[in-house]
Amino acid sequence: MISNGSSGDLAADRRYAWARGALETGDFEGARDLFAQTLERAPHWAPAWFGLGEALEALGRRDEAAAAFRDALTCDPADAAGARLRLARLAGETPVAAPRAYVQTLFDQYSATFDRHLVEKLAYRGPEILGEAVARAAPGRIFANMLDLGCGAGLAGAVFRTGARHMSGVDLSPAMIEQARAKGIYDRLVAGDLGEFLAGEPADAADLVIAADVFVYLGDLDPVFAGVARVLRNGGLFAFTCQSLDEGESYAVGADLRFAHSQNYLRGCAARAGLAIGEISPAVSRKDRGADVPGFVALLLKI
């Protein structure tokens, strides 16, 4: 859960903290009541409206939950909490991406402890899975110019550094970029949107592009695949991990507010971008509450 700062009212903040605790322990009615009390004192505080929506959704009161999420959006149109994703799920709709403010806020707040949390709590090994896929496709190859999309604090950069002469990383979170910069892994780091970053890169300039668990925050991958295809030179590789979806759909937002993609959809995106498929295989890059999260590792080629 994203940290939500203060409402400016200490009594409201206390009730909010109690409400979140009740929500986490499964006392949904108690959480609903405490969030309502919070809003009596801080009626324009988006996190409290979002929490009320969560509690109401857990109680099966979907229409009321949707109204609360809409109120959260009214209070915070940038949507740092991700209310649009919740509303889309309630309506049976699928947005094309997570709200930018939600992703940036999430990673800015977790930047100092994110690597440790991923590795120790979630058993995250996305970068290692990508490294193994690239090694299968191009054993021993040294890449002249590598791009790390959604580089975070540099976990993937550390895996690929010895195999790349020049390595660039981009991440939406400035705080994550500063964590990566402190490690001294990358030759160039950019804080910004990965689509905008790709659009600004020279054509036919990269020979390896990676994206480790970045697409859980994007639904529509066609623009990214097209951007990657443009910047890759012939013989270049594109390796990524993602969460997997049953073949019946293209992509969808799960209860964890992350996107999952079907293998058929990934193959279609590759074909539309003119990229050949080297591999799309089942892979588990992390756990959630102790259970494996099913996913894919994919390796595409520009030929």
Residue 164 lies in a domain: yes
Residues in CB range of 7: below 8 A, 6 or more apart:
13, 16, 38, 41, 42, 45, 47, 48
Residue 105 lies in a domain: no
Residue 98 lies in a domain: no
Residue 187 lies in a domain: yes
What Rg do the C-alpha atoms of the chain give, in angstroms?
20
Q: What is residue 108's three-state secondary structure?
A: helix
Query: What CATH number should be reported for the domain holding residue 26?
Result: 1.25.40.10
Count Cβ atoms below 10 Å from residue 229 Cβ, excluding itself. Answer: 20
Greater confidence (274 vs 290) lies with 274
pLDDT at 220: 96
Residues 18 and 64 in one domain: yes
Q: Identify any residues that bridge with 208 across adjacent strands, giving them in sequence order.
A: 146, 237
Residues 281 and 178 in one domain: yes
Mean pLDDT of 111-129: 70
Residues in CB range of 301: below 8 A, 6 or more apart:
137, 235, 236, 237, 238, 275, 276, 277, 278
pLDDT at 254: 85
Residue ending a domain, among 93, 123, 138, is 93
pLDDT at 121: 61
In which residue are the tokens 């499964």 written?
A: 26
pLDDT digits (tens, 9 = 90+) for 152-204: 989 999 999 999 999 999 999 999 999 999 999 999 999 999 999 999 999 99
> Which among 126, 168, 125, 124 is positioned nearest to 145, based on CA atoms?
168
Between 16-25, 98-107, 171-180, 230-239, the lowest mean confidence (pLDDT) is in 98-107
Residue ending a domain, among 34, 60, 93, is 93
Residues 71 and 206 in one domain: no
Residues 69 and 205 in one domain: no
Residue 252 lies in a domain: yes
Pairing of strands 143-149, 206-211: parallel
Residues 274 and 188 in one domain: yes
Distance CA 154, CA 176 (A): 8
> Is residue 2 scored above 60 in pLDDT?
no
Residues 271 and 122 in one domain: yes
Eight-state DSSP code of residue 62: H
Greater confidence (290 vs 27) lies with 27
Chain centroid to Cα 257, Å, comes to: 9
> Is residue 120 scored above 80 in pLDDT?
no
Distance CA 188, CA 207 (A): 16
Residue 130 lies in a domain: yes
Q: How confident is the model at residue 212 (pLDDT cuts 50, 70, 90)?
A: very high
Residues 161 and 280 in one domain: yes
pLDDT digits (tens, 9 = 90+) for 58-90: 999 999 999 999 999 999 999 999 999 999 989
Distance CA 46, CA 33 (A): 16
Distance CA 147, CA 163 (A): 12
pLDDT at 4: 61
Greater confidence (115 vs 127) lies with 127
Q: How confident is the model at residue 1 (pLDDT cuts 50, 70, 90)?
A: very low
Assigned token pair, 291:
């259970």
Total domains, the chain: 2
Supply φ then ψ for residue 214, to 5 degrees: -90, -35
| Residue 280 near residue 263, CB atoms below 8 Å | yes
Residues 76 and 127 in one domain: no
Distance CA 79, CA 101 (A): 6
Residues 58 and 126 in one domain: no
pLDDT at 114: 58
Residue 152 lies in a domain: yes
Percent of the chain with pLDDT over 90: 78
Q: The pTM is what?
A: 0.86
pLDDT digits (tens, 9 = 90+) for 250-271: 999 988 889 999 999 999 999 9
Query: What CATH number should be reported for the domain holding residue 208?
Result: 3.40.50.150
Q: Which domain, by its residues, includes 287?
A: 114-301
Residues 188 and 257 in one domain: yes
Residues 272 and 146 in one domain: yes
Residue 277 lies in a domain: yes
Distance CA 261, CA 107 (A): 22
Residues 226 and 123 in one domain: yes
Distance CA 131, CA 136 (A): 9
| Residue 32 near residue 16, CB atoms below 8 Å | no
